[in-house]
Amino acid sequence: MALLSNIITPSNVLKDSDIGTSVQAYDADTTKNDVANTFTANQTINANLIVDTNTLYVDATNNRVGIGASPSYKLDVSGVTKSTSFLETVVAVTGTTPAISAINGNVQTWTLSGNSTPTDSLNAGESITLMIDDGSAYTITWTSLVDQWVGGSAPTLATTGYSVVELWKVSTTVYAAYVGDAN
């Protein structure tokens, strides 16, 4: 049977009105002291906070949050997620030998400045949409990046507008598919 002191009551719950004041965090285990710690708003407790080893990790050193997993990215979730919206930033790839990576986002543009040879920096399970602007009829040598073209071979790039290529990595193999021209 639960003891009455184990019940969270309005007097021992952190409220909006407590912001900016010192608050006490209560421990429901009555065999210990009732007050576990005293915190002040915006106080750093330590560099890493693990709320529950199966639930939430906060890596303050690297500015990362993990839900169900120790974070390797800004937000790292182990399991199915749901979102009501998603914002994607379009990033420009530059140079003639760029490392193609999903770390900059899943939608990337690349205006060719000469004949180019991109390289693979994708991790297994990652994918990107690459929009290539080739207004000068340059060529891309794909062999350092793509292991297999789905549905054929590397495309001939459009000289107006974007040529859209989808890239994804399964295990150690990078696949690519030519989506089409976005003129």
Residue 12 located in a structural domain: no
Residue 69 located in a structural domain: yes
- Locate the DSSP E strands across 54-104: 56-59, 64-67, 75-77, 90-93, 99-100
| pLDDT at position 92 over 80 | yes
- Domain check: are 168 and 106 in the same one? yes
Domain count, the chain: 2
Residue 30 located in a structural domain: yes
- Domain check: are 64 and 123 in the same one? no
Find the domain containing 128 and state its range: 90-182
Residue 13 located in a structural domain: no
Residue 95 located in a structural domain: yes
Nearest Cα to 144, choosing from 91, 108, 96, 103? 96
- Domain check: are 94 and 176 in the same one? yes
- Domain check: are 25 and 60 in the same one? yes
- Domain check: are 97 and 173 in the same one? yes
As a whole number, the mean pLDDT across the chain is 77
- Domain check: are 97 and 174 in the same one? yes
Kindly report, residue by residue over 145-169, the tens digit of the pLDDT.
999 999 889 999 988 889 999 999 9
The Cα 49–Cα 19 span in angstroms is 20
Kindly report, residue by residue over 28-83, the tens digit of the pLDDT.
444 444 444 444 444 455 555 555 556 777 787 888 888 887 888 888 888 888 88
- Domain check: are 149 and 125 in the same one? yes
The Cα 109–Cα 162 span in angstroms is 9
Q: Which residue has the higher pLDDT, 86 or 176?
A: 176
Q: 38: Cβ–Cβ under 8 A, 6 or more apart, which residues?
A: 22, 23, 24, 25
- Domain check: are 53 and 99 in the same one? no
| pLDDT at position 106 over 60 | yes
CATH number, domain with residue 96: 2.60.120
